[in-house]
Structure 1
Amino acid sequence: DYYYESRSRYYDACSEVNNYENRANELRSQRQRKIIYINQLKSDLKRYQKLLKEHPETKQEITIKPFDNDGNLVDYNVRADEITNDFFYEVKASDTAPYTQNQ
């Protein structure tokens, strides 16, 4: 009986360790996605600042892909109109869906 109890506890402990390792890997993956997204935003901001210096009369509409409460990127975009500071939700069928007229 002691052998089977010990073996059961051992396998339970191994299972728990595996669950924690999987969660740690998931968190690392989320962190990496956030870093990539932030670097993309920084690059877009530098590009926009350069264009603004070259053409100060222009304005740009900014698209933001927010995170949900769990830190995952959501599947809709928020657009901010730079002139009025209004926010618009933009929902597409897919990442490759075309813009509609006047969008």
Structure 2
Amino acid sequence: MDNEYYYNQARSRYNNACSEINNCENRVNELIGEKNEAIDYLNSLNADLVRHRDASEDLANVIAQETDLTSSLNSVSTNMDEASTSFTQMADAPDSSSVNINDVFSDEMTTTRNTLTEAMSTFRTKKSAVDTRITELEAEIRATETRISDIEQAIRITRANADAWRSTKSSASMDMEYYRRRMDAED
């Protein structure tokens, strides 16, 4: 085989290595873009998680007040019973009809109790939905973190491949120079 043949083989390896280096560099840039998008998404997930945890805590605090609110309603009812009894005794006159305060306000008390019960039920339902979303967000965060790790690994591998191609390019360049000198010496 002559020097020109070996020179052309080295040049082919050199050109192939240049092409592969460009491919690797382009792929690294694509992966960096994907990683940046994943990091942005992860940041938005973390912010969303914080908001949902705060909402869950706020709802838990509201739900924890149910006992106090129920107790306050019971206290109001007891005080109304006492006030009704006192009012009946004060207004007990033969020429006037007595009014029972409980009868006057019982519908309002029933409505208030029902409203409290419905509100607490709604808060529990909302808290359950928020807690479910928290679990979903945590799973999405883990998946996104894994995706970022996979992308970082792909970047390292692609950069290592580019380095291997650079080595091939350097070797081919030296071979080209060697065979070019031999061809020049033959002339």
Q: TM-score, normalised by structure 2?
A: 0.32
Does 1:31 pair with 2:35?
yes
Question: Which residue of the partner structure matches residue 97 of structure 1?
Answer: none
Residue 30 of structure 2 aligns with an amino acid whose one-letter code is E
| Of 58-67 and 38-47, the range deviating more from structure 2 | 58-67
Which structure 2 residue ranges, 5 or more long, are not aligned?
64-126, 149-187
Count of aligned pairs between the two proteins: 71
Q: Which of the numbers 31, 55, 58 marks the counterpart of 2:59?
A: 55
Does 1:4 pair with 2:80?
no
Cα distance in 2 between the residues matched to 1:33 and 1:45: 18
> Percent of counterpart pairs with the same letter?
35
Does 1:71 pair with 2:75?
no
> Secondary structure in 2 aligned to 1:43?
helix
Question: Which residue of the partner structure matches residue 13 of structure 1?
Answer: 17
Cα distance in 2 between the residues matched to 1:3 and 1:27: 36
Q: CA deviation at 1:42?
A: 0.8
Cα distance in 2 between the residues matched to 1:47 and 1:23: 36
Cα distance in 2 between the residues matched to 1:26 and 1:46: 30
Q: Which one has the largest radius of gyration?
A: 2
Does 1:43 pair with 2:47?
yes
Cα distance in 2 between the residues matched to 1:67 and 1:31: 13
Two-structure CA RMSD over aligned residues (Å):
2.8
Higher strand fraction: Structure 1 or Structure 2?
A: 1
**Larger RCO: 1 or 2 (CA < 8 Å, sep 6+):** 2
Higher helix fraction: Structure 1 or Structure 2?
A: 2
Which structure 1 residue ranges, 5 or more long, are not aligned?
73-103
Q: CA deviation at 1:3?
A: 4.5
